[in-house]
Amino acid sequence: MITLKEALKLSPQELDSLREDLKEKIEEKNEVNAYIDVNVVAEGVPIAIKDNIQVKGWSVTSGSNILHGYIAPYSATVIERLLEAGCSPFGRTNMDEFAMGSTTESSCYGKTLNPHNHDCVPGGSSGGSAAAVAAGLAVAALGSDTGGSIRQPAAFCGIVGMKPTYGRVSRYGLGAYASSLDQIGPMTQNVEDAAILYDIISGYDPKDSTSINMDTPKISDRLDPDRKLTIATLPEYIKDASEDVRKAYDKAIGALEAAGHTIVEKELMDAKYDISAYYITATAEATTNLARYDGIRYGNRKEGENLKELFVKTRSEGFGDEVKRRILLGNFVLSSGYYDAYYVKAQKVRHLIKEEYDKLFSEVDLILSPVAPRTAYEFGALADPLEMYLSDIYTISVNLAGLPAISLPVDTADNGMPVGLQLIAKAFDEQTLFDGALSLETQLKS
């Protein structure tokens, strides 16, 4: 598939034939189920869009029955930015319902298959975007990452996925899951394309009160893979990862050393606290964000004898099991008797995690970490919700601390599945993140 960098140079006629070509391939590989539908805005380079990002006039459902029939009344800021930069939205990609999940199995449109092995999940929640890029069905895609949903599917499908610093990319027009953690980011075939797409979508937006009003210098023009960086590795933190992942980790360390970077061994707090803090924070915010889906204003309404019955029927029939589980958990941790014991405690832990990263980043430029404890799971392997939550250990602290991180393919496991690892940088230091990632990618190819 043509890269984003090359596609941005195509003429309108060439872009038309690229779109036709993509549509044909999507038809051919229909069983992957990466796309929910293939709507087209024929103005620029086609970019696949996760189904929780609004495109004016398109259906947008966050993979949920409850939003069936809802048409976006305006476009997300990232979509406006794509159009200004000569790109255009192309198709809605499949996702876990309301971005809650790690496998894309909870979508109301059925599961998406991993293009490398159809018995395996593509990861989640942005599994459709990752599978589309990996299967050659998209030039590039947008995903969203609340606790790993860009980086983990990117790792499972062997592509690049980047989560920006919290506040860098506008959330205006993104279906909210956990507002203090969500970020939209690029999912691409290589690191340079990720930098190009990041440049396009990032920057201050007065329509998002959490958007940061600071200069966002273009990174893709200034990428420097020859900068020598100090990179932390985490020998203790990674020891529970599978052998495949640890092997890839050693391979990445070797490549980074060969590229002239300084490697230093460091440690992070036991990641089990991350899981608790994340699942309390995320479900509390999700409960609040999802309260608006009551059958009155959005999408799918189930009529009842009275208003209460309408609410209950709409929500009982519209939401899937995982979403209901999280609404219950969120209400529990916010309820008056438990608020201090759970929610407030989780915020304290979040603070500690952030402090720990701050301390590390006073000594190093980047951190090398696994993305997931193992390669893509077989379907059904994460049927136990607690098992699924635990599989997020390596991604969620980055969101809790608001940091930027990028997942890139490093190795192929014995079972033939891709292994991705991530680099993490300090807040607002996307330049160093991309420089280091490009250096690693270049070295691995040599």
Q: Which residues are catalytic?
A: 50, 125, 149
Question: Which window, 56-64, 139-147, 193-201, 291-299, contacts ligand GLN (CB under 6 A)?
Answer: 139-147
The residue of the chain with the least Cβ separation from ligand GLN equals 149
Cα separation, 110 vs 101, in Å, equals: 14
Q: Does 147 bind ligand GLN (CB under 6 A)?
A: yes
The end-to-end CA distance of the chain, in Å, is 21
Cα separation, 387 vs 376, in Å, equals: 14
Q: Does 148 bind ligand GLN (CB under 6 A)?
A: yes
Provide the 10 A C-beta neighbour count for residue 305: 8
Determine the 3-state secondary structure of 214 from DSSP: coil
Binding positions for ligand GLN, 282-341, rule CB under 6 A? 282
Q: Report the sign of the C-alpha dihedral through residues 239, 245, 251, 256, in that order.
A: negative
Helix (H) or strand (E) holding 385: helix 385-390
Q: Which is it for strands 366-370 and 230-233: parallel, antiparallel or unpaired?
A: parallel
How many amino acids of this chain bind ligand GLN (CB under 6 A)?
13
Nearer to ligand GLN, 107 or 149 (CB): 149
Q: Does 149 bind ligand GLN (CB under 6 A)?
A: yes
Question: Which window, 80-88, 145-153, 220-228, 267-275, contacts ligand GLN (CB under 6 A)?
Answer: 145-153
Q: Among 61, 125, 165, 397, which residue sits at the site for ligand GLN (rule: CB under 6 A)?
A: 125
Nearer to ligand GLN, 177 or 361 (CB): 177
Nearer to ligand GLN, 244 or 392 (CB): 392
Question: Which window, 142-150, 201-209, 250-258, 370-378, contacts ligand GLN (CB under 6 A)?
Answer: 142-150
Provide the 10 A C-beta neighbour count for residue 335: 11
Q: In Å, how far are 72, 120, 267 from 359, measured between CA atoms?
A: 43, 38, 11
Q: Does 104 bind ligand GLN (CB under 6 A)?
A: no
Binding positions for ligand GLN, 30-59, rule CB under 6 A? none
Q: Does 170 bind ligand GLN (CB under 6 A)?
A: no
Q: Does 133 bind ligand GLN (CB under 6 A)?
A: no
Determine the 3-state secondary structure of 258 from DSSP: helix
Q: In Å, how far are 151, 342, 346, 370 from 280, measured between CA atoms?
A: 21, 7, 7, 23
Nearer to ligand GLN, 145 or 411 (CB): 145
